[in-house]
Amino acid sequence: MELQGRYWWWPVVLVLVHFGMNGCFGCWEQERIALLELKASIVNYTDEYYFPHWDSVDKESDCCEWEKVKCDITISRVIKLALNNTIYWSGESGGGWYFNASLYLPFEEFQYLDLSSNSILGWIPNEGFERFFTLGKLEVLHLGDNSFNNSILQSFSGTIASLKELHLDFNILNGSIHIQDFKAFNNLEELYLGGNYINDFVTTEDSNSLSKLQVLDLSDNNFNARILESVVAFPSLKILNIGENNLEGSYTTKELGALNNLEQLYLDGSSIDNSFLHKVGVMNSLEVLSVRNCNLNGSLPAQGWCELRKLQEIDLSYNNFEGILPSCMANLTSLRVLDLSNNHFTGNIVHSPLPSLTSLRVLDLSNNHFTGNIVHSPLPSLTSLEHLSLSNNDFLIPATMSTFSNLSKLKDLLGMLPTWLGNMSGLNELVMAKNQLEGPIPVEWCKIVKLSFLDLSENNLSGSIPSCFNSSYIRSVYLNKNWLSGPIPCAFKNNSNLVTLNLRDNFLIGNIPDWIGNLSSLSILLLRENHLEGTIPHCLSNITLVASSEKPIFGGFWAGLSSYQIRMPYLKTKSTNMKDWNPTGDFMIDVSETDEAEFTTKNRIDSYHGDILNYMVGIDLSCNKLVGEIPPQLGMMSTIRAMNLSHNSLTGPIPTTFSNLKLMESLDLSYNNLSGKIPPELTEITYLEVFSVAHNNLSGTTPERKNQFGTFDESSYEGNPLLCGPPLHDCTKIGPPSTMLVDHDGEDGGSFIDMAVFYISFVVVYITVLLGLVAVLYINPYWRRAWFNFIEVCVDNCYCFVVVHYRKLFNFRLA
């Protein structure tokens, strides 16, 4: 016993040494080699890939620290690999690649694998997903947004008992699928099949397959109303999305009642029968119901849906409902989110059933025909309200809204800017764009210290921007398209969180302040169409302009897209983990109604909304009165994607440092007084879609027609008389230098004579002739006598002419 007690710790030491050699000094060598082989196999298919930088040279490189790789911190084994969006296709390389399962088998501790959005067409023979049965710890498998067909279901013949979440959405599955196709997944809890072409899901009541399924996404397929009969076979189902299908037809209370465990039901974009809301009351466990854009019409029924006592969120927006709100809505006392927007509801809000909904945190009544005074309405009694949208109704503007003490988001009140908003210290989003608001921005608003988003664009606001308006939380400011005047204030001087500053289309004057260069988070700066003067500050190059990606995000957008909108509803079936989604925490916020930025290039305005602004970085200083040279330091803004300095009075050369702007997609320097040659190094900017240096005083040859510069036509260079080369005229045909100037509007000068040169030359010629005449008369006596005789004769003749005609005139007057 003593001997055993003395040496019991040796196995522990051996285990620690084993893991120390393999874990403490980085990832396991066989897994590092497997990752490099995986990368090589993918790269061999095409040159069009965005694969993370995995170091194959440095053998000391720890693969656990590589991008898209996650290891277990205890044993340093790879447990997660996210290779989504790794390969992209332009159509020139064949359009897809084939999966090889054997490359993933060395990762025995795999828990998560994401291969979505990679244009996978299928798999190498005998190397399909049936090989994954050895990965006994795999729980999440993302295969969405590829080109798998129904054969992938047969490929899952081997049991993957550990799998809990499977994504096959946005592939080309079609026709009928059977529940037995998923018999390999005994523990599957989430199944995503949205965005395919499936028209039937065959289930049997006696089948034990998918018995633990809790989340099922069948949206955007070809199902009909009978799909409800199929999903009854899943006794554990809690979340069901069957939106974007043709679900017309009658539903029996028996079918709906069989889904008594369902907690969340999404029917968005489907065509459903009006009787649905009458019968849905039997689904007594329902907490979330969304029938957004389902072609429903008529009045809301006074029974059925009002019996859902546990309902916390309901979305009835974008339908054709009309009439008043039924009184039975008062039964929905657990309701926290109510969206009735974009319908035809009427009635006075004062007499609505809303006072009973005391748990409401989000209320959207926009784009209806409600009437009444907000203060006299039940709304002030909703003390938990945080998000209130009332736009495009017939409400009266209140004199105060102090009762809304918890309100954090307010949208679209019409009239003068109310000063009482300054008392709402908890407000964090204020959206009043595109109304007829007038007057100055109240200084009382400076007390809104938690404001993070401000949009007062496209109104008739006047006066200066209050300098005390300096919320440290603010991230986006939209004051564009108003009548604001005065200099740019120092209101946002010390705000390190500011991402978007849009002051375009106003009457701001003065210089661009240097403190803008200290805004470390700034991504979008729009000062177009003002009366700003002075030079461009060198410190603008200090702006980091941090983006979320280093890949080109627009591609051909600049060439032909005028508006790109991303809608992010509260359920995103393509990538959202619906099981983890909290119905009481994530509200129905439409991103397309928040962030927006417009960039003007070549007299066209491109508007960008929503999520895409996370990647968009740019500066627009066009249509001002800026002078001086373009600071070469602007070439250090390596992440910038759009720069517009057109329609100013800038002089000097185009900085050669602009060649460092590798991600630049739009560069507009037109309508200035720039001179010198176009730097040939600009051809290194391979993502450039829009380029214009038209109407300047540039000379020399145009850049070599390679990369993107081979796509630019004559309009990119016109208005530069001394510029030649393709696509302009040949340089051998260029004429002598012209004295003709170009004005700031790009029109030719109205005169061919430089008046300053004319005056100087006239004086010089006059003096030269006079001095030459004196010199000749002094040197030659004969010419001198002849000249004075000539002068004497001229004087006598003039004297006689005056005397004779004076006498005649005098005698004529006496007569």
Query: Do the domain assignments include residue 328?
Result: yes
Q: Write down the pLDDT at residue 575.
A: 31
For residue 649, the tally of other CB atoms under 10 A from its CB is 15
479 within 8 A of 502, measured Cβ to Cβ: yes
264-283 per-position pLDDT tens digit: 999 999 988 888 899 898 99
**Final residue in a domain of this structure, among 147, 165, 196:** 147
Average pLDDT of the chain is: 79
For residue 392, give the amino acid letter: N
Range scoring the smallest mean pLDDT among 276-290, 398-412, 445-459: 398-412
Same domain, 521 and 664: yes
**15 inside domain:** no
Q: 517, 464, 524, 528: which is closest to 493 by C-alpha?
A: 517
Regarding whether 563 and 482 lie in a shared domain, the answer is no
Q: What is the mean pLDDT of residues 436-446?
A: 86
pLDDT band at 448 (very low <50, low <70, confident <90, very high): confident
Is 744 contained in some domain?
Answer: no
Choice between 592 and 420, residue whose per-residue pLDDT is larger: 420
pLDDT for position 717: 93
| Token digits of residue 588 | 């129905």
Which residue has tokens 């010198």?
676
pLDDT of 40 over the 50 cut: yes
pLDDT at residue number 411: 55
Q: How many domains does the chain have?
A: 5
Taking residue 45's Cβ as centre, other Cβ atoms within 10 Å add up to 16
- Sign, Cα dihedral of 788, 794, 797, 802: negative
Q: What does the pLDDT average to over 622-638?
A: 91
Does the pLDDT at position 611 exceed 60?
A: no
Which region among 121-125, 370-374, 615-619, 798-802 has the lowest average model confidence (pLDDT)? 615-619
Residue 158 has a pLDDT of: 67
pLDDT of residue 274: 85
pLDDT band, very low/low/confident/very high, at 44 (cuts 50, 70, 90): low
One domain, residues 539 and 674: yes
Residue 84 lies in a domain: yes
Quote the pLDDT of residue 567.
25
CATH number, domain of 126, equals: 3.80.10.10
State the greatest distance between any 2 C-alpha atoms of the chain, in Å, as a whole number.
165
| Tokens encoding 455 | 């949009």
* Predicted pLDDT at 49: 56
**Residues 636 and 718 grouped into a single domain:** yes
713 shares a domain with 784: no
Domain final residue pick, 147, 174, 196: 147
Whether 649 and 514 map to the same domain: the answer is yes
Distance CA(410)–CA(401), nearest Å, equals 11
- Residue 551 clears pLDDT 50, i.e. is over it: no
In a domain, 564, yes or no: yes
Residue bearing the bigger pLDDT, 541 or 129: 129
Nearest Cα residue to 618 out of 566, 554, 701, 693: 554
- Write the pLDDT tens digit of every residue in 182-227: 888 888 999 999 999 999 998 877 667 788 899 999 999 999 888 8
pLDDT score recorded for residue 507:
95
- What is residue 746's predicted lDDT score, i.e. its pLDDT? 43
Residue 451 confidence class, pLDDT cut points 50, 70, 90? confident
Indicate whether 694 pLDDT > 90.
yes
Q: Which residues contact 380 (CB under 8 A, 6 or more apart)?
A: 374, 401, 403, 404
Predicted pLDDT of residue 12: 47
Residue 724 belongs to a domain: yes
pLDDT at position 512 over 50: yes
Buried b (16+ CB within 10 A) or exposed e, 235-274: eebbbbbbbbbebeeebeeebbebbeebbbbbbbbbbbbe
Question: Which carries the bigger pLDDT value, residue 517 or residue 87?
Answer: 517
Return the C-alpha torsion angle 783, 789, 792, 798, nearest 10.
-90
Residue 397: per-residue pLDDT: 55
Does residue 579 register a pLDDT over 70?
Answer: no
pLDDT number for residue 667 = 93
Percent of the chain that is helix, strand, coil (3-state, to 5)? 25, 20, 55
User: Could you identify the residue written with the tokens 């080369």?
Assistant: 725
pLDDT beyond 70 at 604:
no
Residues forming a β-bridge with 742: 748
> Which of these, 532, 519, 514, lies nearest to 470 by C-alpha position?
519
pLDDT at 156 over 60: yes
pLDDT of residue 686: 84
Q: Which amino acid is at 596?
A: E
Domain hosting residue 357, numbered range: 247-407
Q: Which helix (H) or strand (E) holds 755?
A: helix 755-779
More confident residue, 13 or 155: 155
Statement to judge: residues 350 and 400 lie in one domain: yes
Same-domain check for residues 320 and 421:
no
Q: How many helices (H) and strands (E) does the chain have?
A: 10, 46
**Percentage of the chain lying above the pLDDT 70 cut:** 77
Q: Could you give phi then psi for residue 357, rounded to 5 degrees? A: -90, 65
What predicted TM-score, i.e. pTM, was given to this entire model?
0.64
Q: Beta-carbon neighbour count of residue 356 at 10 Å? A: 17
Q: Does 356 share its domain with 395?
A: yes
pLDDT at 657: 92
Q: What is the mean pLDDT of residues 100-104?
A: 86
- Which of 112, 147, 182 is the last residue before a domain boundary? 147
Q: Is residue 631 part of a domain?
A: yes
Mean pLDDT of 740-749: 44
The pLDDT value recorded for residue 190 is 94
- Is the pLDDT confidence value at 712 over 80? yes
Q: How does pLDDT run across 52-86, given as a tens digit for each residue? A: 667 665 666 788 888 888 898 888 899 899 888 87
Position 774 scores a pLDDT of 82
Same domain, 683 and 721: yes
Residue 227 covered by a domain: no
Distances (CA, A) of 121 to 42, 152, 180, 210, 487: 13, 10, 24, 26, 58
Residues 483 and 510 in one domain: no
The pair of structure tokens assigned to 250 is: 């009658």
397 and 311 in a single domain? The answer is: yes
H/E stretch holding 690 reads: strand 690-692
